[in-house]
Structure 1
Amino acid sequence: MASLVQELHFPRLDDIPITIDRTFSVMPADPIPVSLGDTLYLSNLDDMIGSRVLTPTVYFYKSNDHNSTHPIVMKTLHDALAKVLVPYYPFSGRLREVENGKLEVFFGPEQGVLMVEAHSDIPLATLGDLTVPNPSWAPLVYKFPNEGPFKVIDIPLLIAQVTFFSCGGFSLGLRTCHCLSDGLGAMQFLAAWSSTAKAGACVVNPNPCWERETFRPREPPLVEYPHFEFMRIEDMSSLSMTLWNNKMVQKCYRISRECQNHIKNLAKSDKDSPFTTFDAMAAHVWRSWVKSLDVEPLDSNLRLTFSVNARQKVKNPAMNDGFYGNLVCLACAMGTASELVEGCLSDVTKLVHGARIGISEKYLRSTIDYLEVERPRRMEFDGKLSITQWTRFSIYESADFGWGKPVYAGPIDLTPTPQVCVFLPEGEADSNGAMLVCICLPKPVTDKFIKFLCLVDSDDKVKI
């Protein structure tokens, strides 16, 4: 029987030879409901420091003899994008800072989104396994010269690079400004773009709505929780030293559905435990990470943060289905290194579960007010691992523009942020619910991490 936890390998490539053939702006195909000089409000969830990024993703499509010639692909993507920018017109604007460093969307002359056409003289096969995210694919996603981290002012809010390969296949590399949408919102936009490409006319379901004003801070702001997810915690442990003094490498592991279920069952303290697969998997990965890093001293305080979709939590008023802004709360599980290293899986899972169910509308409003009062200007990583869950995104289905689902859809390079782990859906048709766990690790601890990842009994003695 195949291993239930399988390390996936990808080649370390030299720079992929890319030639940029042209760059051009794409404007909305029809009039939009704003005038020159108009602005749109962004909530504190939209413009917090963690959202001030252009999120890169890449989508690979193999050769299709019917509809994938260069001109047809470019025209299909361009025309559909122009059409969908009418209902999603904020993407055609720009960001600027106003009082107290707050961001807003404004509309000036000749803005629009950026499209890039490129080609490479190598076939897709040269890139290795197209189902495993590879940092070497970075040239497939366009970046401006001299870009800096968290710099999103006055640049296109959507950048789309189409790269054609010698075999007839191509990639679509996107960078989408996180200030305009969270993961679910980005999938909503992508699905509208792909549906429009297939229909030849604008298709949006549901109809997008802005409604960021719903999440204005209260007057006066009322911070009702400590919000450890944002706070700086003095890290007196060996963790930060280990992470920053070693070369970080990206590792990916395929976790079968059978293994996920096994971990979930082990995490349950009784048959009625309300733990989800995410609760158990996040706890297991967090625990394995801490163990592999040999964190000392054992009374060090550590954190696990992860985003929780708050759409169903908001009741006053209930959210429109078409809302595509940032409506996630950052949950924070806390424990000592001793609890993680010496405690059982069930106890660690309780920490994760408690943090997740603690997200409520009241907590969301407190988060908005905390951000209003404190205005954090930096990301805090001391003692922290952050997990991002993409397994519930319909990323493969949303990216079918008429050439079938992509071979791969997702992120590329996690190494710029060494304390991030991503749970990805596997794109293979016969994946049977497998997930990919992609994580950055110090190179010297990679062997220990997979050892602990494969030890999934409550006493860590039984390997599957």
Structure 2
Amino acid sequence: MSQVTPTSSNRVLPDTPPSSTRTVALSILDASVGSFAPAAATWVYDAPEEQGKSSLDPARLKESLSRTLNAYPHWAGQLQYTTYIPGGTYTSRSRRLEVVYGAPTDPGVEFVVASSSTTISDVFPSVEDRTSGLGAFDASSLGALNLFPSTALASHSSGDFMGLPSLIVQVTGFKCGGAVIALKSSHPLADAQTLMTFVNDWSAVNRALVQNVTPPVLSPNFSPAALDEAALGDIDAAEPDPEILKLAHELPVHRYDWWASGEGSPAWAQESISIPPHLASLTDIKLGRSLPWHEWDMHAPVSNFLLHFSAAELTGIWAAAASPGAPISRFDALQAHLWAALIRARGTPASASPEEQQFHFNVTLGVWDRVAPPLPAHTLGSPIVLARASATAGSASLPHLARAIRETVSAFTLPRVRALLHEMAFDVDARRMWGGFIGGRNTIVTSWVRLGVYEVDFGAGRPRLVHGVMPGMDGVVQVMEARPQTAGGGPWYQDGASVSVMLPTEVVQRMLKDPLFRKYR
């Protein structure tokens, strides 16, 4: 195991700070994802050629980070709760979020420099290692490499904000001259697309400095209110509109209530299951559906595997998932294939109730193009929801699961999404409801497809490996393109797909031994 040793830590602020202090309320959806794990990933670079050596120099990366923050000043600011005002506007309801930036007290971005006494190739698998044989690489040990510092992020989940950064960066140099650049952001400020927008901009600025040319003009869009303006009805009213709520409830989503979930909850959830003191006097709180803690074995060892699917394999899965009258994409088919394998690997007890026979595939769905007008391509934040597809083991054929996923995603029409924003704006507390779960019957999948993860070039060329960092919990899946081996410009699947799964060790082992799982390889 590589010994990573931190050598310095600084807070980085914009090269040209804002001229005045600004306070911006985050969107309805931003405030709803505070209990999500941070958006985080690592970019692993082999030692660059001579002309690119300075591109991975920590001092250069720190300078380019500071310049990039000129276009992202809020990321150096203070994430915090808005002031709670009973009967106030929707942004002043319980535990909504805002960011204050341009103040002398801005916490900045944590920038850590570290070193390792080993080489990149000793620790990180090559493309051949990741794609040969079964195309399954056990990446569990990568989580213990200390590629992220121990600094705490500003956290909506715990309520710890003051002085804490919302973005942490660590640059780890290896003795071969290669480096790992790791980023971790508080989720309310960044989903996968926002993190990629930022890191692409940062790498472009760094590349320009290395080449001694004028850095590009960056144009990210930080306007959280634009999403909220798409909500149906008057979200500042005293009560939600019942007709709009009916429309919102047509959507296939979980509506788990943390406050109803005390029984069987783990110690770390005590903050989340408790009604906050400032709401304790409310007498009309009606509890909803409780989280099914009994379905999640938190003591089971969890493994992280990187699974490679070739382009030909994806085509075979897609052909097998097709059914008359239902247009299925390769991405639908891949998700259905993973879901089917998980259902088989988990199994269903003979004594299971009808509810316990249901398996749920919770798809992380962006809503940029599901509001009117659509949000700009480089909109920052976390405009995402969880969409729930459901099936039983008896109906887990590949075509059926692919149709279930496609029908679930298709249900998120413009009127329903706008109605859902209305519903969520009136949540008594922004942290109360959760649209998903994990464990034995629930899987949460997030897509980094079409985000150009392997196009992040700081001046040293393409990365050897991009690894999305997920919490080590049962039932978390992430999909991204495989490392490009061909010329660019083709479809996302032209070089295959890389799927990162967090599953109980015994479940993933059963999945890998399943002859149907690699039937199309």
TM-score by length of structure 1 reads 0.84
User: Which of 292, 296, 301 is equivalent to 2:345?
Assistant: 292
Aligned with residue 201 of structure 2, among 180, 185, 192 = 192
Which residue of 422, 438, 460 corresponds with 2:500? 438
Q: Aligned pair 1:214/2:189, yes or no?
A: no
Partner of residue 109, structure 2 = 113
- Provide the rounded CA distance (Å) in 1 between the counterparts of 2:17 and 2:220: 16
Aligned-residue offset at 1:266: 1.3
Partner SS for 1:86: coil
Which one-letter code corresponds to 2:104 in the other structure? P
Q: Give the CA deviation at 1:377.
A: 3.3
Is residue 2:345 matched to residue 1:338?
Answer: no
Look up the SS of the partner of 2:57 in the other structure: helix
Contact 1:305/1:386 (<8 A) preserved = yes
Equivalent residue letter for 1:209: N
Structure 1 CA distance for aligned equivalents of residues 152 and 30 of structure 2: 25
Of all paired residues, the percent bearing the same amino acid is 21
**Is 1:166 the equivalent of 2:166?**
no
In the other structure, the counterpart of 1:57 is 41
Contact 1:119/1:165 (8 A) holds in 2 = yes
| Cα distance in 2 between the residues matched to 1:256 and 1:121 | 34
1:172-198 CA deviation, whole Å, 9 max, x = no partner? 111122212222222111111111112
Query: Does the CA contact (< 8 Å) of 1:225 and 1:363 recur in 2?
Result: yes
Select between 323-332 and 346-355 the one with higher mean Cα deviation: 323-332
* Distance in 1 of aligned mates of 2:42 and 2:520: 35
Q: How does 1:256-267 map to 2 (within 5 A)?
A: 256-267=310-321
Tell me how large the CA RMSD over aligned residues is: 2.9
Counterpart residue number, 2:480: 424
Deviation >6 Å, runs of 4+: 145-149, 234-237
Is 1:454 matched with 2:505? no
* Residue 403 of structure 2 corresponds to residue 390 of structure 1: no
1:104 maps to: 98
Q: How does 1:129-148 map to 2 (within 5 A)?
A: 129=125, 134-138=139-143, 139-144=146-151
1:304 alignment partner in structure 2: 361
Measure, in 1, the Cα distance between the counterparts of 2:66 and 2:292. 52
Structure 2: gaps (5+ residues): 85-93, 131-137, 257-288, 487-492
Q: Indicate conservation of the 8 Å contact 1:414/1:439, yes or no.
A: no
Contact in 1 for aligned 2:14/2:66 (Cα 8 Å):
yes
Q: Which amino acid aligns with 2:108?
A: G
> Per-residue CA shift, 1:265-305, capped at 9, x if unaligned?
111112x5311111111112111101111123273222111
Give the Å deviation of 1:322.
3.3
User: 1:145/1:327 Cα in 2 relative to 1: closer, same or farther (>3 Å)?
Assistant: closer
Larger displacement relative to structure 2 (39-48 or 192-201): 192-201
2:10 to 11, 24, 32: 24
**2-structure distance, mates of 1:148, 1:376:** 12
Structure-2 residue corresponding to 1:253: 307
Matched residue of 2:365: which SS? strand
Q: Distance in 2 between matches of 1:57 and 1:281?
A: 22
Q: Note the C-alpha offset of 1:75.
A: 2.7
Match of 2:187 in 1: 178
Amino acid at match of 1:230: H
Tell me if the contact between 1:58 and 1:412 (Cα under 8 Å) persists in the aligned partners: yes
Displacement after TM superposition at 1:376 (Å) = 4.1
Aligned equivalent of 1:5:
none
Aligned counterpart, 1:377 = 432
Cα deviations by residue, 1:75-117 (Å, 9 ceiling, x for unpaired): 3211211111111111110211122111110134242211111
Within a 5 Å distance, the mapping from 1:306-321 to structure 2 comes to: 306-315=363-372, 317-321=373-377
Q: Label 1:298 to 1:240 Cα distance change in 2 as closer, same or farther (>3 A).
A: same
Does the aligned pair in 2 maintain the 1:298–1:336 contact within 8 Å?
no
Distance 2:411 2:55 in 1: 51
- Match for residue 279 of structure 1? 332
Shift of 1:263: 1.2
Secondary structure of 1:285's counterpart equals: helix
| Counterpart in the other structure of 1:41 | 25
Distance change in 2, residues 1:84/1:409 (3 Å): same
The alpha-carbon deviation at position 166 of structure 1 amounts to 1.1
- Tell me the SS of whatever aligns to 2:222: coil
Residue 263 of structure 1 contacts residue 281 of structure 1 at CA under 8 Å; is this kept in 2? Answer: yes
For 2:513 and 2:180, locate their aligned partners in 1 and report how far apart those are by CA, in whole Å: 35
Q: Equivalent residue for 2:165?
A: 156
- Cα separation, 2, equivalents of 1:119 and 1:335: 48
Query: In the alignment, is the contact (CA less than 8 A) between 1:192 and 1:204 conserved in 2?
Result: no
Deviation at 1:306, TM superposition (A): 1.0
Question: One-letter code of the match for 2:113?
Answer: E
For 1:381 and 1:176, locate their aligned partners in 2 and report how far apart those are by CA, in whole Å. 21
- Distance of aligned partners of 1:192 and 1:147 in 2 relative to their CA distance in 1, 3 Å threshold: closer
Cα deviation for residue 50 of structure 1 reads 5.0
State the one-letter code of the partner of 2:95: G
280-289 vs 369-378, greater mean Cα deviation: 369-378
SS at match of 2:8: strand
Alpha-carbon contact 2:318-2:328 (below 8 Å) kept: yes
Q: Secondary structure at the match of 1:59?
A: strand
**Structure 1 Cα separation of the partners of residues 152 and 75 of structure 2:** 21
Does residue 407 (structure 1) correspond to residue 464 (structure 2)? The answer is: yes
Q: Are the aligned partners of 1:134 and 1:413 in contact in 2 as well (CA < 8 Å)?
A: no
1:153 and 1:402 map into 2 onto residues whose CA distance is 35
1:210 positional shift: 1.6
Partner Cα separation in structure 2 for residue 290 and residue 363 of structure 1: 29
In structure 2, the residue corresponding to 1:179 is in which secondary structure? helix
Cα distance in 2, alignment partners of residues 147 and 210 from structure 1:
19
